[in-house]
Structure 1
Amino acid sequence: MMERKDLASWLEGAPQDADYVRGSALGLPPDGPGSVAPFGCRVVTLLIDWAVSSGVSALVFSYDPLATLSLFAAMNLVMLTLWGATPGQLLMGLRTQPVARRTPMLLRAVLRTAVMLLVLPAAIWNRDRQPLHDVIAGTAVVRS
C-alpha cells in the first residue's frame, strides 16, 4: 500500500547529494580562483553586457532592437574569443574557460552565443551551475 510520504516526496525537490561540490565534475576547485561563478554574479554580468549593447544601440542605431541583439552577440563573440570574458565578466572578476573537448575558443564562443540567444537554454542549469549554453559549448564561467 502507498503511503502519503511516497506520494508527496517530490515536494522536497530533486534528490541532492549534501557532500557534492559544485564544479567538481568539471575539474574545478571548490572555492577561490577558478571555482564556479555564483549565480548572482552571472546575472549582474548579463545585465552589464546588455546595458553596454543597449547604450551603443541607443547612440548609434536609435535603440533598434535588432541592432541591440546584434551588438550583444558581436560583443560576446569578440570579447570571449580574444580575452575569455565579456565586459560584464571583466568588471565582476569572472571569465569563461573551456572545460571539455579541445575546440578553439572562437568556435566555443560562436556556439555559446548562438545557443544563449535562444534564451530558453540560458534558463536551464545543471548542478554545477552551468547553463545549457555553457554545457553545449564545453565552457564554464569561473572566478578570475
Structure 2
Amino acid sequence: MDNRDAIGSWLSGPREALEKAGVALGYRGEQLGLPEHGPGSIARPGRRLGALAVDWALCLLIAYGLLTDGYNQATGNWALLLFFTLGVLTVGTVGFTPGKRLFGLRIVPENGGRPNPLRAVLRTALLCVAIPALIWDRDGRGLHDRLARTIEVRS
C-alpha cells in the first residue's frame, strides 16, 4: 500500500482513506444516535457557515446603522457584542438564531430537549472566540458544541 493511500489526499481527506483501508467509521452523528439524513441529522458545514454569515451580517448591519457613526473598529466590537447577545437570547430560548432558522437548523442538547441559557452562554462565548468553532470532530461538531454539550442539527 502506498503511503499516500493510507493518509488520504488533501482532496479526499483521511476519512476516505480509512474507509478504503476497511475501517468502518459510520455516518456523521451515528455515535450520537442521530439519523443519517433528514430532520434531526447533523447539520452540514455549508449550512452552518451560511447561517453564521447571515447572523454576523445582521449584527454588523445593526451596529453600522444604529450604534456607530460610519464603519470603524467600534462597529466590529458592537457587532460582536450584538452577535453574543443574539446567540444567547435566541439559542437559549427557542434553540436557533435568525440565520439558523433561515437555513433550517437548530441547536439541541446531547440529551435532547431545548438548550438551557447556561449552555447557550458557553456555546456563544466560545463561538465568538472563533478558534473552538474551527476545530471539528469526526461527527462534524465544533469544539464549542462539544464543550457546551450541544449538537447543531437540521430541523
User: In which range does the TM-score fall when normalised by the shorter chain?
Assistant: 0.7 to 0.9
Matched, 1:5 2:16: no
Q: Which runs of 5+ in 1 are unaligned?
A: none
Whichever residue aligns with residue 42 of structure 2, its letter is V
Equivalent pair of 2:109/2:115 in contact (CA under 8 Å): no
Output one character per residue of 1:102-132: Cα deviation in whole Å (capped at 9) or x when no partner. 9961111011011111111111111111011
TM-score by length of 1: 0.87
**Which residue of 1 is the match for residue 41 of structure 2?**
35
Query: Identity over the aligned pairs, expressed in percent?
Result: 39
40-49 vs 99-108, which moves further: 99-108
Where do 1:1-144 residues align within 5 Å? 5-6=2-3, 9-12=6-9, 13-14=13-14, 15-16=18-19, 17-18=23-24, 20-62=26-68, 63=71, 64-100=75-111, 105-144=116-155
Distance in 2 of aligned mates of 1:37 and 1:107: 22
Distance 1:143 1:102, change over 3 A: closer
| Aligned residues: CA RMSD | 2.4
Tell me the alpha carbon deviations over residues 64-100 of structure 1, each in whole angstroms, 9 at most, x when there is no partner.
2211100000000000011100110011111000015
Secondary structure at the counterpart of residue 129 of structure 2: coil
Question: Cα distance, 1:9 vs. partner?
Answer: 3.7
Which sections of structure 2, spanning at least 5 residues, go unmatched? none
Instruction: Say whether the 8 Å CA contact 2:67–2:78 is kept in structure 1.
Output: yes
- Which structure has more relative contact order (CA 8 Å, sep 6+)? It is 1
User: Which ranges of 4 or more aligned residues in structure 1 deviate by more than 4 Å?
Assistant: 16-19, 100-104
Displacement, 1:10?
A: 3.0
How many residue pairs get aligned? The number is 141
